[in-house]
Amino acid sequence: MKFKIDENLPSECAVVLRNAGFTADTVADEHLSGAADAKLAQHAHADGRVLITLDMDFANIRSYPPASHAGMIVLRPGSQDKKTLLAMLQILIPALKQSSPERRLWIVEPDRIRYREN
């Protein structure tokens, strides 16, 4: 599974995913920092990458219908400090190994994951 880490997350998120056996690049790695949401979603889809972000705009299924992209994971932590975000990603990894977020929207909260399909 391939992931694109949005610029609103620590770049270490890509390292955590790589260490878990996934392919992950950051928005900065691909020179997309500051890109509009639509452009970022388009690039992620073209590369077959699931976008991981804090940006709730990507949770809008009217703007980003799940079947129209490679997948979206929106993290909703209680706090947005680096330690909390990396811990949340560690909790997410087992779910990623059991199920694929491809062509789906996952809303990841501290105590649950909500799934959305078309």
Kindly list the structural domains of the chain, giving each domain's residue range(s) and its CATH number in brackets, ordered by start: 2-116 (3.40.50)
Q: What pLDDT, in 10s, does the model give residues 44-85? A: 999 999 999 999 999 999 999 988 889 999 999 989 999 999
Rounded to an integer, the average pLDDT of 13-33 is 93
Which pTM was predicted?
0.94
Closest CA to 1 of 76, 101, 117, 95: 101
Give the per-residue pLDDT at 32.
Answer: 85
Give the per-residue pLDDT at 24.
Answer: 96
Tell me which H or E stretch contains 40. Answer: helix 37-46
Beta strand residue intervals within the chain, DSSP E: 2-5, 23-26, 50-53, 72-75, 105-109, 112-116
